[in-house]
Amino acid sequence: MKGLLDVMGQTFSGGVPVDKLIDLVVGAGGTIIRIVLTLILAFVLVKASNALIDRLVTQRSAEGEGRRFMDERKAKTLRSLLKSLLKYAIYLFAGISILNELGVDTTSLLAGAGLAGLAIGFGAQNLVRDVINGFFILFEDQFAVGDYVTVGDAEGIVESIGLRTTSIRAFSGELQIVPNGQISKVINHMGSAMRVLFGVTVDYRTDIDHAMEVLTRDFEKAKTEIPDIVEGPTVLGVNALGESGVELLVIAKTRPMEQWRVERALKKRIKEVFDREGIIIPYPYMQVLLKRSEDEPSDGRDGKAEGRGAATA
């Protein structure tokens, strides 16, 4: 374009032939067409990227299987941020392409921008690492809002996932804020089913086969009466021979985050069915010997007493 203006000035002053001016005009027309096509392509790319972002974020903000991938507020924030980033990136490359068409040397401009970006990167590398890791967490679906996770020393329920930090609510109530850049290993306790595993102790004098049969019959009813059970419950058999009784092992699978409630319900049922069937749940007992000193007068008793005491499990 600059060459065209120079030639036009020389032509009007009588220094350049008209045919050369025509060639330059034709060349400038091609440049203008390429600039217009670049702008149109940039506009189409922005529209297409916006539609793709809307689709991806909507999928991750939908609820299903009792699990929410991303809360609506965070979904809106992420949608807006991604659209802005892609829009500016597309327009930046389009602008550089247009400057090249106009004959502007963009190499020096890019070099200056690179040095500035490098300086900023050194000063904010932790922030950049947090944001990048936040993107991977969100789009790889490593964990989601409502999941029970362990991240380093933090353990609890995920309350929110941001681009820079993740908030985890501990079972004791504390809110733990973890920078995304520090999340290197995640244990996600959520899955299609959670396991319930515990022992039930019966007295040594109990018929083990009868006790297992009683539990199996009651567990058939539990499958329909406790809706959060997805598999089992099942009596696996004898697990241990303890000091006061024989331990039977019980296993079941439940919906996510329902394992504790189901375990409590099963233990209650076991106590009730054992009471009905006369099956004894043993407890430790002890003998207490009362010794008198030589100076203490005898009352005619043998000084021996036997008692029982319950011990906590």
Give whichever of 1-15, 72-86, 265-279 has the largest mean pLDDT.
265-279
Confidence of residue 262 (pLDDT cuts 50, 70, 90): very high
Q: Do 161 and 134 contact (CB within 8 A), yes or no? A: yes
CA distances to 23, 61, 96, 98 from 27, rounded to whole Å, are: 6, 51, 20, 15
In angstroms, the CA 140 to CA 75 distance is 15
**Which domains does the chain carry?**
2-123 (1.10.287.1260), 140-188 (2.30.30.60), 194-277 (3.30.70.100)
Residues 6+ apart with CB under 8 A from 288: 305, 306, 307
First to last CA, the chain: 89
pLDDT band for position 130 (cuts 50, 70, 90)? confident
242 in helix, strand or coil?
coil
pLDDT at 305: 47
- pLDDT band for position 165 (cuts 50, 70, 90): confident
Question: Residue 108 — pLDDT band, cuts 50, 70, 90?
Answer: low
Of the candidates 217, 216, 231, the one whose C-alpha atom is nearest the C-alpha of residue 262 is 231
pLDDT in tens, 31-73: 788 888 888 888 888 888 888 888 877 776 665 544 555 556 5
- Could you tell me the two tokens for 112? 């200056």
